[in-house]
Amino acid sequence: MSDALLACRDCGQLHRATNAVVPGHRLACSRCGRGLSRFPPVGLDTPLALATTALILFLLVNLYPIFLVSLEGRSGQDLLISGPLRLAEYGGPFAGLAMLVAGLSFVVPAVWLCLVVIVTALLLYPWSMLDVYLLGAYVAYTRLSDAVDTNVAAGGYALGALVLVQALLMITLGVRRVWDMIADPRHFAPQPGEPWVMCGACQLVVAAPAAGGTGGLPACPRCATPLEPRQPASLSATLALTTAALILYLPANLLAMMTVERFGRVNSYTILSGVNELAQLGMWPLALLVFFASVVVPMLKLASLGWFLYAIRRRSARWLRERTVLYRLIDSVGRWSNIDVFMVSILAASLQFGFLTTVDPEAGIVSFAAVVVLTMLATAIFDPRLMWDAARGDLR
């Protein structure tokens, strides 16, 4: 048996690993530090039990209200789906926002959970955002309890438990282990010195000529994804998505994200004044968290992507490892910027008490959601290995 071959998806370095399948071991790239392989120290029965638990909890989250609110004897409740339904009633761009919230908090998590049981949808995980939704719900809760009597209901507790179980599920499952159980990578390993290519989906390292498919691009022998040495059209698509996000960044921050009407008095909140109000309510840790997720992270993503594209253009070799680490950071924290989107969705659904207290979504939150989605797409489509190619001078 030959050693397992592992290619780094951030810098393209090829590694020969002799102990890739020792339970509990974690291998990292010697050049840029990216984790390459982690073989979970438990068998597959644990993730299977967790997936079943998660499915039951997901049902509870959707059947029972997350919050019960009451004001002056009138009461309301907030089901997971009532936010998107409420947003859809505003029509126009809010219908798009409703679909986004429903997709990230309901459709993708549901599909992801079902597919995990048949283990193919691991690539969807960044778009399954119940953990981010939970934090948005917590921010909404602090604002709700400031305005009306609020009690966390059965769905809310199930949501908390579901997020925990989902995190455990990802840790115990081990994406690479699942792929390697579907097909052993050593059957496809290239000979030393032979040209190779890494599958973008399942990260199998294949000998380049052995990858021949029928017509068009050769396909991965393990998962049938077309084999590309680098993400196709990565630079132009990243530039286009980043530019679009940059343009929407201004309305996202200048326009109101929601208006709150209380006893005829109307207050508008932008992203920033929402953070400010949390601070004035004395919720400092929460204010800092939302400030980081909604203000710092989008700015950091736009600046970083701009820097990466410029450095590639200049064929720069400076800060190469630091840039790669920064890429991993913005790629992993980007999804947390959706906290405010989920918060507005929950508030608009829960606070509909007419003259007493009503919350309406505004154009700013639509632009903001667009910035978050565009920068997430830009980061996903950007291929960090191109920075290493450019520094070596073999960028095509």
Q: For 82-126, give the secondary structure using H, E and C.
A: HHHHHHHCCCCHHHHHHHHHHHHHHHHHHHHHHHHHCCCCHHHHH
Find, among 158, 139, 166, the residue nearest to 150 by Cα: 139
> CA-to-CA distance for 271 and 18, rounded, in angstroms?
50
Stretch that binds Zn ion, among 220-228, 243-251, 302-310, 342-350 (CB under 5 A): 220-228
Count of Cβ atoms closer than 10 Å to residue 396 Cβ: 6
Q: Please, what is the minimum distance in Å from the beta carbon of residue 235 to Zn ion?
A: 19
Q: Please, what is the minimum distance in Å from the beta carbon of residue 188 to Zn ion?
A: 10
Give the number of residues in contact with Zn ion, rule: CB under 5 A: 16
Q: What angle do CA 114, 175, 190 make, to 5 degrees?
A: 130
Q: Does 8 bind Zn ion (CB under 5 A)?
A: yes
Find, among 370, 395, 332, the residue nearest to 242 by Cα: 370
Stretch that binds Zn ion, among 9-17, 107-115, 138-146, 310-318 (CB under 5 A): 9-17
Interface residues for Zn ion in 224-263 (CB under 5 A)? 225
Q: Which of 4, 6, 27, 32 binds Zn ion (CB under 5 A)?
A: 32
Stretch that binds Zn ion, among 12-20, 66-74, 103-111, 307-315 (CB under 5 A): 12-20
Q: Please, what is the minimum distance in Å from the beta carbon of residue 313 to Zn ion?
A: 22
> CA-to-CA distance for 188 and 204, rounded, in angstroms?
8
Neighbouring residues of 121: CB distance < 8 A, sequence distance ≥ 6 = 111, 112, 115
Q: Does 222 bind Zn ion (CB under 5 A)?
A: yes
Q: Give, rounded to a whole angstrom, the gap between the first and last alpha carbons of the chain.
A: 35
- Token match 């219908």: residue? 95
Q: Which of 11, 320, 341, 372 binds Zn ion (CB under 5 A)?
A: 11
Q: Nearer to Zn ion by C-beta: 86 or 222?
A: 222
Stretch that binds Zn ion, among 101-109, 201-209, 234-242, 380-388 (CB under 5 A): 201-209
Amino acid making up residue 339: I
Read off the DSSP letter of residue 197. Answer: E
Buried b (16+ CB within 10 A) or exposed e, 105-135: bbebbeebbeebeebebbbebebbbbbbbbb
Q: Nearer to Zn ion by C-beta: 29 or 349?
A: 29
Q: Which of 95, 153, 223, 255 binds Zn ion (CB under 5 A)?
A: 223
Q: Nearer to Zn ion by C-beta: 29 or 390?
A: 29
Q: Please, what is the minimum distance in Å from the beta carbon of residue 237 to Zn ion?
A: 21
Q: Which of 202, 287, 289, 351 binds Zn ion (CB under 5 A)?
A: 202
307: which 2 tokens?
């820097």
Q: Does 199 bind Zn ion (CB under 5 A)?
A: yes
Q: Does 290 bind Zn ion (CB under 5 A)?
A: no
> CA-to-CA distance for 222 and 185, rounded, in angstroms?
9
Q: Nearer to Zn ion by C-beta: 37 or 345?
A: 37
Q: Which of 29, 101, 108, 387 binds Zn ion (CB under 5 A)?
A: 29
Q: Please, what is the minimum distance in Å from the beta carbon of residue 124 to Zn ion?
A: 16
Neighbouring residues of 159: CB distance < 8 A, sequence distance ≥ 6 = 57, 61, 66, 80, 130, 133, 134, 137
Q: Nearer to Zn ion by C-beta: 163 or 205?
A: 205
Q: Please, what is the minimum distance in Å from the beta carbon of residue 178 to Zn ion?
A: 12
> CA-to-CA distance for 321 and 326, rounded, in angstroms?
9
Stretch that binds Zn ion, among 48-56, 75-83, 169-177, 221-229 (CB under 5 A): 221-229
Binding-site ranges for Zn ion (CB under 5 A) = 8, 10-11, 13, 29, 31-32, 34, 199, 201-202, 204, 220, 222-223, 225
